Amino acid sequence: MSGQSTPSSPFIAHPPEVPGDGDLQKRLAALEYQYSQLKNSYEIDKVKSQAIVKRLERDLEHRSSEYETAVSDSKLLFDENNKLKCELRELAHNFEQTTDENRSLRTELDAKTCKLDRHLDEFQEIEKRLEDVIALKDAELRHKDSELLRLRDAMREELALKSSRIDELADQLRIKDSQILEMHEHSVHIDETKARELYEKECSNQLEYIRELEKKNLELSNKLRTLQSKQDYVQVLKEEKATLSQRLATYEALETEYEDLKLKYAAMEQKMGNWPLSDPPAIILNKCSMLESTNSQLLQKNEFLRNELARTQQEVVDLQSKLLKSNDRQTALKSKLFEKDTETTKLSNNVKLLTQEIQFLKDRIDNVTEENTMLLKNKGVEAENAQKFEGLVSLLESYKQQLQSLQSQDTGQKRRKSEQEQPNGAAQLAEELKKKINENNELVRTIEEKNKRLVQLEGEVRKLSSSSNERGVRVLELRENPAARQERVTRKMLEKLRQENQQLVDAKLATDQLIPKTVYERVCLEQDQLQEEIKSMNKRMTRLREMFSSKAARFNEIVFLLLGYKIELLSETKLKMYPKFNRDSFIQVDLGRHGSKMGHLLDGDGIRVKLPAEAGFQKVDVDNLIRFWVLEKQQPCCFFNALNLELYDKGQELLPS
């Protein structure tokens, strides 16, 4: 007992040593050292995690700002898309109306062509009859011409004989005069009275003979004149025949119009019989004159509208050709887009694989951090974990760089595709503009050729009129001469054609001044560019939506992993939060409910928590947490963290030990 005395007094110098106390102290020192090392590593990890959280918060703010800009852009694009859809509907409606009008005009044109064919057949029959009559008249005229030529030759021969006889008689008179002079010289003594009587008798006989010859010559000249007048009359009859054939055609047309008017008149009489006589005839006549004037105005408007419709039909044809070209271009672009989509799907698959690997690596990082927080037995494990952590971080950064390079490649390919599409569209539009300009130049050339042809025809008409006057052809001097009438009609027709041509040219110039062709072409180019921009913006919107949905899902996953809540947006001010440690419960937050005091973010009614009734989760004092953290401290984030910790503790208590 003396050797094993217990220390009963504090004044004992050295208490006896317990066996194994040194080992325990060494072990305690080692544990304290490990604890200090773990505490330092925990603080370092805590600082790193805080830096990561701050970076993620900055990324979250940047993503939220990008999301807001994308939402505003999408709204603008949606409004513009609706406007363009309305314009497309209006254009389609106008196109259908023009097609209906085109069909009606085609039916009218077919009816007019049938009438023209029928009238052409009738005109050909009349022409054949007139050709037969003209052939008979030509044969008669040739026979009469041959007879007249024979008579003219005979008269010329007789005139030659008479002239030769006159010359002979003149020679005889000279001889007689010479004989008389010789006899007068030789026989001066002969009675001069007898000689004079004989001379006077012979002179009177010669004068009578000359007068008879002159009478015959006058008769022959009169016959020639009558024959020439007959020939002129035959030519006049030919011209009258041509005019009468034209008048016959017009007369037949007038007869048909007269019959139509008779039918219309009978129908109008029936209508007049059915109508009650309320107005006097003078008022009815005034109304009829007003209706005729309005009818003429409406006819003018109808002609103008027909011209506009023809122009619009031509424009529709041009637009259809452009549409076919654009469809071909669209098919080519679709094939290119399909190829690019296959490439993008490959790239997206690669991106998905990389994201899965990143997720796997992040899970491994979380596991490593949890292992590091636990007590470790030796330093070698810490070094290995640190090396593993650094290796995983380097892998994460390399995967991020690969993701960025793939995204830059994808955006570069899309940008190159858009840049390739734009010059191709501009080149095609330039070619279409050149074609339109060439067509307009060809139309101007044809108009100039027609004008030149009109001038040539006028010159030929003038030459014919001057040549007919130079030939000395005698025409019956009548005011209602068929030739003069035909000339007046042709002059009027030429004047009307000139006026019509000038009016058409003026109308074309006026329309070009109102809406120049360059403006129309520029508007078409701008419309095509806008349609291409709409297509590209729609594609961009779909890509942005897909990217936003993927990024939002990824962001929710990161928030769930780091903060322990899965967030679901219900509206602009309401959201629902699902805690990590109890999936059956949720927290509904109304950000529109502000506190009564200024500067308060939420009040007690802004947060509503639902916990399951079983498993002891109802014991969590939610009201106390809301009152302390939300109302007093105004720190909702601390409330969510405290609630998550309470749920974690309750869940750990329920786990089997």
Percent of the chain with pLDDT over 90: 0
Q: Please state, in angstroms and rounded to a whole number, the distance separating the CA atoms of residues 598 and 604.
A: 15
* Residue 572 dihedral angles phi and psi, to the nearest 5°: -70, -25
Among residues 473, 492, 512, which one ends one of the domains?
512
Regarding whether 130 and 264 lie in a shared domain, the answer is yes
Tokens of 538: 């729609």
Q: Please state, in angstroms and rounded to a whole number, the distance separating the CA atoms of residues 623 and 646.
A: 13
In a 3-state reduction of DSSP, which class is residue 613? coil
Instruction: Name which residue leads in pLDDT, 383 or 14.
Output: 383
Q: Please state, in angstroms and rounded to a whole number, the distance separating the CA atoms of residues 103 and 108.
A: 9
Most confident among 303-307, 404-408, 551-555 (mean pLDDT): 551-555
Mean per-residue pLDDT, 425-444: 61
In a domain, 487, yes or no: yes
Q: What is the pLDDT of residue 198?
A: 74
Strand partners, 462: none
Q: Total domain count for the chain?
A: 3
Among residues 274, 302, 318, which one ends one of the domains?
274
Regarding whether 265 and 117 lie in a shared domain, the answer is yes
Regarding whether 604 and 496 lie in a shared domain, the answer is no
Given a contact cutoff of 8 angstroms between Cβ atoms, the answer to whether 643 and 615 are in contact is no
* Residue 565 dihedral angles phi and psi, to the nearest 5°: -135, 140
Residue 599 has pLDDT above 50, yes or no: no
Q: How confident is the model at residue 400 (pLDDT cuts 50, 70, 90)?
A: low
Q: How many H helices and E strands in the chain? A: 8, 4
Q: Of 339, 319, 391, 336, which Cα lies nearest the Cα of 361?
A: 391
Regarding whether 597 and 489 lie in a shared domain, the answer is no
Instruction: Name which residue leads in pLDDT, 382 or 257.
Output: 257
In a domain, 259, yes or no: yes
Q: What is the pLDDT of residue 457?
A: 60
The Cα-based distances of 575 to 418, 608, 643, 647 in angstroms read: 40, 11, 17, 20
In 10 A of CB 577, how many CB atoms?
Answer: 22
In 10 A of CB 271, how many CB atoms?
Answer: 9
Q: How confident is the model at residue 468 (pLDDT cuts 50, 70, 90)?
A: very low
pLDDT digits (tens, 9 = 90+) for 23-80: 778 878 888 888 888 888 888 888 888 888 888 888 888 887 887 887 777 777 788 7
Q: What is the pLDDT of residue 189?
A: 54
Which residues form the domain of 195? 112-274
Regarding whether 204 and 117 lie in a shared domain, the answer is yes
Regarding whether 210 and 118 lie in a shared domain, the answer is yes
Q: What is the pLDDT of residue 477?
A: 47
Q: Please state, in angstroms and rounded to a whole number, the distance separating the CA atoms of residues 411 and 405.
A: 10
Regarding whether 270 and 130 lie in a shared domain, the answer is yes
Q: Is the dihedral of CA 602, 605, 606, 612 positive or negative?
A: positive
pLDDT digits (tens, 9 = 90+) for 245-293: 777 777 778 778 778 877 877 777 777 666 555 556 667 677 777 877 8
Q: What is the pLDDT of residue 584?
A: 74
The one-character DSSP state at 607 is E
Q: What is the pLDDT of residue 188?
A: 54
Q: Which residue has the tokens 């903060």?
A: 563
> What residues contact residue 202 under an 8 Å CB cut-off, 6+ apart?
176
* Amino acid in position 423: P
Instruction: Name which residue leads in pLDDT, 467 or 138.
Output: 138
CATH number at residue 613: 3.30.457
In a 3-state reduction of DSSP, which class is residue 188? coil
In a domain, 143, yes or no: yes
In a domain, 166, yes or no: yes
In a domain, 639, yes or no: yes
In a domain, 57, yes or no: no
Tokens of 463: 């030459």
Q: What is the pLDDT of residue 466?
A: 58
* Residue 188 dihedral angles phi and psi, to the nearest 5°: -75, -25
Q: What is the pLDDT of residue 368?
A: 60
Most confident among 106-110, 162-166, 210-214, 562-566 (mean pLDDT): 562-566
Q: What is the pLDDT of residue 460?
A: 62
Mean per-residue pLDDT, 172-180: 74
How many residues are there in the chain? 657
Residue 211 has pLDDT above 70, yes or no: yes
What phi-psi label fits residue 187: left (phi over 0), alpha (psi between -120 and 50 degrees) or beta?
beta
Q: Please state, in angstroms and rounded to a whole number, the distance separating the CA atoms of residues 231 and 13.
A: 179
Regarding whether 270 and 188 lie in a shared domain, the answer is yes
Q: Please state, in angstroms and rounded to a whole number, the distance separating the CA atoms of residues 207 and 289.
A: 80
In a domain, 168, yes or no: yes
The Cα-based distances of 643 to 194, 561, 569, 570 in angstroms read: 184, 16, 20, 22
Regarding whether 630 and 493 lie in a shared domain, the answer is no
Q: Which residue has the tokens 């027709």?
A: 493
In a domain, 607, yes or no: yes
Regarding whether 497 and 587 lie in a shared domain, the answer is no
Q: What is the CA radius of gyration of the chain?
A: 60
In a 3-state reduction of DSSP, which class is residue 568? strand
Among residues 252, 274, 296, which one ends one of the domains?
274
Regarding whether 119 and 237 lie in a shared domain, the answer is yes
Residue 621 has pLDDT above 50, yes or no: yes
Residue 614 has pLDDT above 60, yes or no: no
